[in-house]
Chain A
Amino acid sequence: MLDIIWQSFLVSLVGGLLSLDRTAVLQIMVSRPIITGPIIGYILGDVKTGLLIGGMLELLFVGGLPIGGHIPPHEVMIAVLVTTITIIGQRLLYGIGFDRFPWRFADSDIIFVLGAAILMISPMDAACKKADTSARFFNRRFFNTASAELGNGNIKGVIVNNLKGAGVFFLLNFATLLVLSLAGVGVVYLSFLFLPVAVIMSLPLACASVLIIGLASAYNTSYDNRSLPIFLAAALFVLMIITVGVGRW
């Protein structure tokens, strides 16, 4: 149990730092799921799963553009949470000798836990957006403080208050990640113990859904009158090359 809390604390800390890249600091895109997933996977000792989740979520959230007043899904926190819940949840179930499947629960069954984590994206995203909006609302006061300090001739106040804004983002994101990762692992654990097996067996379908919606979301970003024929032609061309390449004709 202490292990789970420690690992959740660690990934929340790193996740909180990575989330600063989203709007507050640098914006070099280390906050994208394709980067966040493997980093969190590395911390939890499973880079491959982290990369798989990161890749899936990258396509899913690539269309989320912060244009105008629209608040897109909080992709970095979602990536941290889905990766954490999946890896820790799988280990927890494996550790207790989960025996409700017709076969012995193993590493390869991570796809069932991933499916459960994916189905939690929507409520988790609502909580993450709330944390983000609260941080933005709270940060308004730093603008007024900086103005007042500048009026008193304190130039450093501008820089310091600007950095304080990033600090608020970090603290709120860190706390939200910690609470949601622990709650998410708990929900997965209890779901696997008490839900009907048929429901659990259907969870990999959620992964397939994310893949298809992810491709659709990415396709939407390239939407143009000419994009459909290019998309289909490229898909068939690559498939032809692969099938010829592996000798399946």
Chain B
Amino acid sequence: MQGLGFAAAITPALQDIYKKDNDQLCTAISRHMVFYNAHPYMASPILGAVIKMEEDIREGERDVKDISSFKESLIGPYGAIGDTFFWGSIRPLSSIIGVLSALFWGIWGAVIFLIVYNIFHLWMRWFGLQKGYKLGEGIVEYIQSLALPQWASRIRLVSAGLLGGAAAVVVFKGIDIVLGQTVQAYQAFLTTILIAGAVVLCALLIKNRVSISLAVYLLFLPAFIFLIIMDILKRV
């Protein structure tokens, strides 16, 4: 899957390590032309550690089999950690912050989204690579000490709070646009509670493997049919 990508990424470092020996260089690159499929950002610490291990191999301090067993042992766990932390918590958090900011500051919301997300992303890419190179196999303990799954869980709660705020702003702005400025506070409250309830119900639908597109149609169709029936009744 990402074997070619990993080999291409490590090639400049290997060229530096095996400067004069083209055969050794080709053999070293071939070692990485194998199945590899982990989270793309979590590849950085692995890449750093593998570069360090390749240097050790050149010095004759390590066996080549160590590299494949090291990579194979980390593919699964780092894939899961990366998916949970980056895809499952940082990206939703950045998206919600971005959308919430866009409601107040327009296009700056998009910029804020990019900044928030890439602080975490580039941190892992850059410091992960550096730490991996510095610590070698010790990177495993370092990543473990970061407790990323626990942070993911906390970040999800922050996202839930921000999303609640975003939902209220969206509803309030929607009420203003659709019904005008004359709406009273209690009406806004009732609408928000109704929509929050609808959101939680729809979330349950999606949780039960109903696809997002189908959920949109399921929500749209009853209202659509109601409007058509009203139109027909009006004509009759």
Is B a genuine binding partner of A?
Answer: yes
- A51 in contact with B107 given A146-B4, A230-B161 (CB within 8 Å): yes
* Complex interface: stretch among B66-74, B89-97, B132-140, B143-151: B89-97
Are A29 and B113 interface neighbours, CB within 8 A?
yes
Interface mask (B191-213 → A, CB under 8 Å = 1, otherwise 0): 01101101111110111000011
Are B164 and A231 interface neighbours, CB within 8 A?
yes
- A150 in contact with B102 given A224-B157, A236-B192 (CB within 8 Å): no
Q: Of A34, A64, A121, which is within 8 A of B110 by CB? A: A34
Least Cβ distance of A144 to chain B in Å?
10
Least Cβ distance of B131 to chain A in Å?
20
* Complex interface: stretch among B45-53, B55-63, B221-229: B221-229
Q: Of A221, A238, A243, which is within 8 A of B88 by CB? A: A221
Least Cβ distance of A247 to chain B in Å?
10
Least Cβ distance of B149 to chain A in Å?
13
Least Cβ distance of B191 to chain A in Å?
9
Q: Of A34, A209, A232, which is within 8 A of B98 by CB? A: A34
Total B residues in contact with A, Cβ cutoff 8 Å? 88
Are B163 and A219 interface neighbours, CB within 8 A?
yes
- Number of A-B contacts defined by CB within 8 Å: 271
- A34 in contact with B113 given A153-B22, A198-B231, A222-B92 (CB within 8 Å): yes
CA distance A99 to B95 in the complex (A): 39
Find the B residue at minimum CB distance from A30: B114
Majority secondary structure of chain A interface residues (helix, strand, loop or mixed): helix
Q: Of B98, B160, B185, which is within 8 A of A230 by CB? A: B160
Measured between beta carbons, the chain B residues less than 8 angstroms from A161 are: 4
- A216 in contact with B98 given A142-B4, A224-B160 (CB within 8 Å): no
Which residues does B use to contact A, with CB under 8 Å?
3-5, 7-8, 11, 15, 22-23, 25-26, 29-30, 33, 40-41, 83, 87-89, 91-92, 94-96, 98-99, 102-103, 106-107, 109-110, 113-114, 117-118, 121-122, 153, 156-157, 159-172, 174, 183-185, 188-189, 192-193, 195-196, 198-203, 205-207, 212-217, 219-220, 223-224, 227-228, 231
13 A-B residue pairings within 8 Å (CB atoms):
A32-B95, A59-B95, A146-B7, A147-B33, A216-B198, A222-B157, A230-B161, A234-B161, A234-B165, A236-B193, A237-B165, A238-B168, A243-B172
Q: Given A162-B8, A218-B159, A234-B163, list of 19 further CB < 8 A pairs?
A: A34-B113, A38-B107, A55-B98, A58-B99, A63-B92, A118-B216, A125-B213, A153-B23, A196-B231, A215-B166, A219-B199, A220-B203, A220-B207, A223-B156, A227-B160, A235-B168, A239-B172, A242-B169, A248-B183
